[in-house]
Amino acid sequence: MSTSNYLTFNPEAFLANAGLGRKVIVLKPQQPFFSQGDPANSVFYIQKGRAKLTVVSPNGKEATLTLLYPGDFVGEESVATVPGLRLSTAVSITACTTLEIRRAEMIRIMHEEHAFSDFFLRFLLARSMRMQADLVDQLFNSSEKRLARILLLMAEFGKPGEPNAFIPPVTQETLAGMIGTTRSRVSFFMNRFRKLGFIDYDRRIQVHKSLLNVVLLDQLPEHNSEKPPLQYVA
């Protein structure tokens, strides 16, 4: 491929439109892109909306792996050397517009257009870093702090541009699944955040910048009762 082709190919334009081996799909809230165990035969690129990636254990327990935003790919396991099955489920949180790219077309464009393969590699590295941060959060932070982080992520604090004060509609059961706790604990923390002025909610949840203090500075008016006391050994 010539240097001129590398410079003129536009990954964003390719991902914005339907074409050979790719089609635009509109999903309603709570509609799956694909389900765990389905054939891994395509990659999805989210143009608009929010979604989540979940996995279900053999005994039926569901865990949320990560949240998905516009500009994210999902289902990238389909470009593995040997086609297999989906290891997780991707479900829309809000109405989503997504580009479905068939496996063969995804492999072709990655091989032929270095600008696209570079674009995709940057996404994969960013996804890996984000999921590592999610794992660290799950391992070392209290469920109250994990909830604060999820709310901030959903409001897009830390992303370029102005954050969205109102997060997409989400139930307390969904939030509980995202942070690995019970709905009653989420309800308790949400009421606490509201009393402290970190959030407001009636029909929709409004996140205030002050909630950042919980995540960045661990500033709560009292010691978090969920954190075990430090044990000193002489």
Mean confidence (pLDDT) of the chain:
86
Joined tokens for residue 83: 């086609």
Mean pLDDT (whole number) for 150-163: 76
In this prediction, residues 107-132 reach a mean pLDDT of 93
pLDDT tens digits, 201-219: 887 899 998 898 888 766 6
Q: Are residues 151 and 67 in the same domain?
A: no
CATH number of the domain where residue 7 is located = 2.60.120.10
Q: What distance in Å separates the CA atoms of residue 154 and residue 149, rounded to the nearest whole number? A: 9
**Model pLDDT, residue 2:** 46
Residues 129 and 163 both lie in one domain? no
Residue 189: Cβ-neighbour burial (10 angstroms; 0-12, 13-18, 19+): buried
The answer to whether residue 232 is domain-embedded is no
Q: List the domain range (segments joined by +) for residue 81.
A: 3-137
pLDDT of residue 138: 81
Which range (64-73, 125-134, 140-149, 222-231) has the least confidence?
222-231
Give the residue-averaged pLDDT of 54-71: 88
CATH number of the structural domain spanning residue 211? 1.10.10.10
Say what the pLDDT of residue 173 is.
86
Nearest to 72 by CA among 148, 167, 156: 156
In-domain check, residue 82: yes
pLDDT over 90 for what percent of the chain? 54
Q: Are residues 35 and 75 in the same domain?
A: yes
Is residue 169 over pLDDT 50?
Answer: yes
Mean pLDDT across 4-27:
87
Query: What's the mean pLDDT in 40-48?
Result: 97
Kindly provide the residue ranges of all beta strands, DSSP E only, lying in the chain, ordered along the sequence.
22-27, 32-34, 42-48, 51-56, 62-68, 73-74, 89-92, 96-102, 199-201, 205-207
Other CB atoms within a 10 A radius of the CB of residue 180 amount to: 13
Mean pLDDT over 150-158 rounds to 84
Model pLDDT, residue 86: 95
**Is 67's pLDDT higher than 90?**
no
Question: Could you tell me if residue 30 is inside a domain?
Answer: yes
Sort residue 148 into left (φ over 0), alpha (ψ -120 to 50) or beta. Answer: alpha
Token pair, residue 216, equals 């960045």
The pLDDT of residue 7 is above 70: no
